[in-house]
Amino acid sequence: MTSSRDEDLIELADRIVHVARKLNVRMQQDPQIITLTPLEAHVMRHIDHNPGITSSHLAADLDLRTSNASTVLRSLVEKELLRRESSTEDRRVVRYVLTDTAAETIRRLHEHWVAGLGSAIPDSVDPGAALEILRLLEDALE
């Protein structure tokens, strides 16, 4: 028999997944937002938070095989969302940064999130408590 807390945690996880899917569907309706696979989106988010990261550090941070990291990075470069830059310290080292196209796509994505979540959450409700829980979850599950 599951406890009330367990049931709440199950419902929380279910709702996180469901809300993410709904946000994703809305985002895909904008032709100016480049559609990404879940892994590509995960990699883009990580590079956005860690500009100039190398392929090997990306693979280690995200628990990916280096070959999988290379494949997804190549795909994102081909989609013109990432740019390869040679390191100033060692020309053999390649670092990845977002392109202007990626920055614009992220900006549009954020607009969709604000519109979607802003219309769903009344102004009288502070999203800070939910945000605190989500930060705790993300940090603990790293």
pLDDT tens per residue, range 10-45: 999 999 999 999 888 887 888 888 889 999 999 999
Higher pLDDT, 142 or 86: 86
Residue 1 has pLDDT above 70, yes or no: no
Find the helix or strand (DSSP H, E) in which 67 lies: helix 66-78
Delimit the domains of the chain by residue range: 4-141
Cβ contacts of 4 within 8 Å, gap of 6 or more: none
* Three-state DSSP class for residue 39: helix
pLDDT tens for each residue of 90-139: 888 999 999 999 999 999 999 988 988 999 999 999 999 899 999 999 99
Residue 3 has pLDDT above 90, yes or no: no
Query: How is the beta sheet containing 53-54 ordered, strand by strand?
Result: 53-54, 94-98, 82-86
Provide the total of helices (H) and of strands (E) in the chain, helices listed first: 6, 3
Q: 98 pairs with which residues across the strands?
A: 82
Residue 2 has pLDDT above 80, yes or no: no
What is 4-141's CATH number?
1.10.10.10
What is the pTM for the complete model shown? Answer: 0.83
Runs of H (alpha helix) within 29-65: 38-49, 55-62
Residue closest to 20 by CA, chosen among 2, 3, 49, 45: 45
